């Protein structure tokens, strides 16, 4: 059985993907939210190599009763694409978690009715009278990085005939003590680049070697 904490993290990753449907932030809000670039990004006791020209901010993907601190990184002054990282499940010190098993669970979950309902609900919370047009789960969205992507499109009444896209890639990484990190990448308006893949690989490597 997958622990409840991990299920909440899976839910949080999907919420992040659905948040792509939200209206873009104004430049003023962007500048207040994003921190300056540096040579390193620090979060939850780990130090991640920074990506040149990208800024980070701390946020929370949980609830008031069950907080889930996260870090987001995006090109400075932009909304998308962006990477987010959070610890979805704390380890018990019994060694690394079984990542292939968790990825298989993630694919099953995202292909299910609950995930599709969540995505549609979030689209409707940001827009008006949306209907799902397409919904695809992929395992080849980011070459060289194990994980899965959900790419879904919606037709909303305020912009008929112009599909609104949600594209989210999710992968997991385990520390040596078994902490499971949820690492997501949202790219609704762009394609995944080699630089994006390198950033995700670097994040996985940092977690796996801690």
Instruction: Write the pLDDT tens digit of every residue in 6-59.
Output: 555 555 566 445 444 444 433 333 333 444 455 799 999 999 999 999 999 999
- Residue 199 has what pLDDT? 97
The ranges assigned to domains in the chain are 4-208
Cβ contacts of residue 191 below 8 Å, gap of 6+?
none
pLDDT above 90 for 66? no
pLDDT tens across 151-190, in order? 999 999 988 889 999 999 999 999 999 999 999 999 998 9
pLDDT at position 106 is 87
CA distances (Å), 9 to each of 35, 85, 87, 182, 193, in order?
A: 24, 10, 8, 7, 25
Output the CA angle 62-131-27, nearest 5 degrees.
55
Q: Find, among 167, 171, 111, 180, the residue nearest to 147 by Cα.
A: 171
SS3 112: coil
pTM of the complete model? 0.83
Contact 156, 130 (CB under 8 A): yes
> How much is the pLDDT for 70?
94
Helix (H) or strand (E) run with residue 32 in it: helix 27-33
Query: In terms of Cα–Cα distance, which of 186, 173, 197 is closest to 83?
Result: 186
What tens digit of pLDDT does each residue of 81-136 get? 999 999 988 888 889 999 998 898 888 889 999 899 988 988 898 888 999 999 99
Which pLDDT does position 183 carry in this prediction?
Answer: 96
Q: What is the pLDDT of residue 12?
A: 58
């Amino acid at each position: 059985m997958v622990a409840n904490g991990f299920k909440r993290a899976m839910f949080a990753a999907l919420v992040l993907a659905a948040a792509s449907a939200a209206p873009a932030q104004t430049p003023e809000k962007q500048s207040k939210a994003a921190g300056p670039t540096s040579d390193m990004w620090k979060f939850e006791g780990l130090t991640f190599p920074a990506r040149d020209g990208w800024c980070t901010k701390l946020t929370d993907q949980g609830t008031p009763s069950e907080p889930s601190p996260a870090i987001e990184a995006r090109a400075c002054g932009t909304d998308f694409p962006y990477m987010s990282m959070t610890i979805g499940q704390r380890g018990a010190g019994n060694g690394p978690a079984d990542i292939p098993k968790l990825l298989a669970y993630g694919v099953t979950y995202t292909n299910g009715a609950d995930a599709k309902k969540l995505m549609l609900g979030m689209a409707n919370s940001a827009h008006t009278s949306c209907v799902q047009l397409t919904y695809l789960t992929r395992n080849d969205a980011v070459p060289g990085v194990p994980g899965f992507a959900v790419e879904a499109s919606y037709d909303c009444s305020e912009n008929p005939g112009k599909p609104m896209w949600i594209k989210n890639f999710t992968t997991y990484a385990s520390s040596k003590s078994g902490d499971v990190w949820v690492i997501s990448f949202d790219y609704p308006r762009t394609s995944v680049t080699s630089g994006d893949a390198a950033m995700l690989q670097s994040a996985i490597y940092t977690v796996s070697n801690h």
